[in-house]
Structure 1
Amino acid sequence: MDALPEHLRRWLDNADNWKGERIDEIDLPDGRYVIKRREAYALGRVALWAKRARAWLMSRVCGWLFGVRPAPAALLHNDIQAEGRRLQYLFAHGQRVPEVLLSTPDILVMRNVGDVLTDVLRDADMPARLHWLDRAVQDTARFHREGFWHGGAQLRNLTLGQDGQIWRIDFEESAGDVLPLAAIQAYDFFQMLQSVMMSPRYPADDMLRLGQHVLYTYLQAHPEPAVRAALVRIGRIFRRISWLLRLLARIPGRDVQAFVRSGAVMKLLLNDGTDDSHPRLPA
């Protein structure tokens, strides 16, 4: 604690500050910080069983999507200490992630790395929204090309730093520790695509064309055959459940419609996939 910036150290010296919301953003004279606290399970054993059930379900989903079914126990290592270790590793390798200032079983203290991209998109005009989406896709491809994975690549887990670069936050997901790199990178892409298809910041009529652009932009920037094969596998799954997608298309709701649109985009991979005609972003 002695090595921490003075105002931050004083803030942490107050025991009351170790309690409160799970995630806090604080502004102090010596900087902006994010405080992440250990998740408190109010219902004790019930919540623990719910967490185990989620890990079991995630294991099955991985087997369905990627043909690899990790042990559910391996998916439970997603506490804030594990996130702190991942952040320290990525930061040491020059990636744009928060610098960890303090990591304990109860609290994770990081430097603030800018405004969440979903907030940036909300306040921007349409040309700027398209620009930042393109930057986000390109940066995810770069991150993958350099051999890394996120595990939570939705737009809400990207930020726009003061340096004008895309940064990454929220590294609690542990699936990448037990899945092949190509599989978890494909999962990253699908998370990003799904979040784009769910965004209210783009015209609904342009969503499929926008999704096509996101897909082709990513594949051109990260043309790794193993990742493409993993994405094609997802596309085949969506083709097998085309009947379900047609039913879901009649149901209102952003989550449902995003799933349907994402499926339509992923099925594009089942065409010949070598088309170099790059669709333009909707104007």
Structure 2
Amino acid sequence: MGKEGQVRRLDVEGGVAWFKRYGSARRALRMRAMDWTAMRLGVTPLRAPPRHVGPDGRRVEQRRLTELASLDVNVPRVLAQGDDCLLLSDMGQTLADRLRRSGPDEARTLVSRAVEAIAAVHARGAYLGAPVARNLTVDADGRIGFIDFEEDPGEVMPLADAQARDWLVFSAGVSRHVPFDEQELAGLLAAGLRRERPPSRSALARTVERLGFLRRPTAWLGGRAAGIGKALGSLRRAIGSSGGSVLALAAALALDLLHDGDIELLVLLAGMLD
């Protein structure tokens, strides 16, 4: 979290806990830019939720943890609370850490379990919000868990868009960590997407189609941007998008590209990911 907040590991009686304090609104300007860009392009699942800080951040996260726990979603337990802080139970290693140390077979298993866990959350009528690889956990039994809920996409979008957002964010984040190609990632994602409700699948398909123009520039930008392109290709394969024209959308962005040599949405998307 850096200067925005503070997360510290604590050794407590009986195990490990995590102290989380909710910090400043340092990212507020970037998130407003992300929201404006998403609305402009008609990709509403990528709207930026309000950035809650201090006591408000604590209340939002505690509310979301309570809601998800009531649906038997594997999230941290609140061990103690303060005005602007929570003490949370340990959930194991992050999926990002596990994938960095995994070979292809273990990575396939981990991603498959993560996809299944996200699909199960959606089947219960819920959503996550920021399921990048650093916000998924793997415990000693291999069970997938979820952390980091101080932002709530449900404040600015309907359920179908929030669930589509989960797949977009998860795919773009995990694609950088897996040692296999777009086609194989698509096969793993498809297993979860087959369980999605039609409104969520439609919202996801529309967004992937609108973002299709990003695949070409990401091929030579590398890093996080390349992960976004790989994720979009995998999602298109997974949901069977029709591959309609995106020329009008690309033309709408031409002035941005010529003006500063960059595409603002790509920069903002990359900034969301681990």
What residue number does 1:22 align with? Answer: 6
What residue number does 1:34 align with? Answer: 18
Instruction: Give distance in 2, aligned partners of 1:198 and 1:123.
Output: 13
What residue number does 1:107 align with? Answer: 85
Q: Does 1:207 align with 2:197?
A: no
Q: Does 1:54 align with 2:30?
A: yes
The farther-off stretch of 175-184 and 121-130 is: 121-130
| Cα drift, residue 257 of structure 1 | 0.8
Instruction: Give distance in 2, aligned partners of 1:22 and 1:249.
Output: 35
Relative to structure 1, is the Cα distance of residues 32 and 68 closer, same or farther in structure 2, using a 3 angstrom cutoff? closer
Q: Supply the AA of the counterpart residue of 1:182.
A: A
Instruction: Say which one has the larger Rg.
Output: 1
Relative to structure 1, is the Cα distance of residues 166 and 245 closer, same or farther in structure 2, using a 3 angstrom cutoff? closer
What residue number does 1:261 align with? Answer: 230
Deviations 1:199-225 (A, max 9, x none): 1x41xxx321123113311212x2310
Relative to structure 1, is the Cα distance of residues 207 and 113 closer, same or farther in structure 2, using a 3 angstrom cutoff? same
SS, match of residue 217 in structure 1: helix
| Cα drift, residue 170 of structure 1 | 0.7
Deviations 1:211-267 (A, max 9, x none): 3113311212x231001101111122133x2xx53233223x211211222232343
Q: Supply the AA of the counterpart residue of 1:218.
A: G
* 2:98 paired residue among 106, 117, 120: 120
> CA contact under 8 A between 1:35 and 1:107: conserved in structure 2?
yes
What residue number does 1:278 align with? Answer: none
Deviations 1:45-72 (A, max 9, x none): xx4xx51x234223324433545897x8
Paired residues for 1:116-265 under 5 Å: 116-199=94-177, 201-202=178-179, 206-220=180-194, 222-239=195-212, 241=213, 244-251=214-221, 253-265=222-234
Instruction: Give distance in 2, aligned partners of 1:247 and 1:231.
Output: 21
Relative to structure 1, is the Cα distance of residues 124 and 260 closer, same or farther in structure 2, using a 3 angstrom cutoff? closer
Instruction: Give distance in 1, aligned partners of 2:217 and 2:71.
Output: 46
Paired residues for 1:89-100 under 5 Å: 89-100=67-78
Instruction: Give distance in 2, aligned partners of 1:38 and 1:165.
Output: 27
> Percent identity over the alignment?
27
The farther-off stretch of 92-101 and 259-268 is: 259-268
Instruction: Give distance in 2, aligned partners of 1:69 and 1:159.
Output: 23
Instruction: Give RMSD over aligned pairs.
Output: 2.5
Instruction: Give distance in 1, aligned partners of 2:44 and 2:16.
Output: 42
Relative to structure 1, is the Cα distance of residues 148 and 233 closer, same or farther in structure 2, using a 3 angstrom cutoff? same
Task: State how many pairs are aligned.
Answer: 233
Structure 2: give runs of 5+ residues left out of the alignment: 244-274
| Cα drift, residue 110 of structure 1 | 0.7
| Cα drift, residue 106 of structure 1 | 2.2
> CA contact under 8 A between 2:122 and 2:196: conserved in structure 1?
no
Structure 1: give runs of 5+ residues left out of the alignment: 1-20, 42-46, 273-283
> CA contact under 8 A between 2:172 and 2:232: conserved in structure 1?
no
Relative to structure 1, is the Cα distance of residues 118 and 60 closer, same or farther in structure 2, using a 3 angstrom cutoff? same
